[in-house]
Amino acid sequence: GENVEQHPSTLSVQEGDSAVIKCTYSDSASNYFPWYKQELGKGPQLIIDIRSNVGEKKDQRIAVTLNKTAKHFSLHITETQPEDSAVYFCAATYSSASKIIFGSGTRLSIRP
């Protein structure tokens, strides 16, 4: 079946440094790649997404890059702040955009 692998599973960075989370997907027909942030006791919230016709997208301190040839995409957070501490999930659509599969998550901790 289709698969999305996410690394690392945990990440600790100093406040102000950058954090990078990487995902690979298996379905070459996937065309939508969202990233969600989940805070304790809450449902996931979309923070940024990218479509297959774009290589990079930025929104303030957050950016996502997509390499379709290698079938991987990455989340970059710059100038990290304490409120960035959360679990982050990548995802990819498949089966003609009827289904979606999530990575296993990355717990990001920001050290003061």
Minimum distance from CB of 17 to other proteins (Å)? 25
Short-list 20, 19, 37, 45, CA closest to 89: 37
Minimum distance from CB of 100 to other proteins (Å)? 4
Site membership for other proteins, residue 29 (CB under 8 A): no
Minimum distance from CB of 96 to other proteins (Å)? 8
Site membership for other proteins, residue 54 (CB under 8 A): no
Please provide the DSSP assignment of 24-69 as one string. Answer: EES-TT--EEEEEEE-TTS--EEEEEEETT-SEEEETTEEEEEETT
Residue with tokens 């016709």: 53
- Using CB under 8 A as the criterion, which residues of the chain lie in contact with other proteins when the complex forms? 1, 6, 9, 31-32, 34, 36, 41-46, 49, 51, 89, 91, 93, 97-105
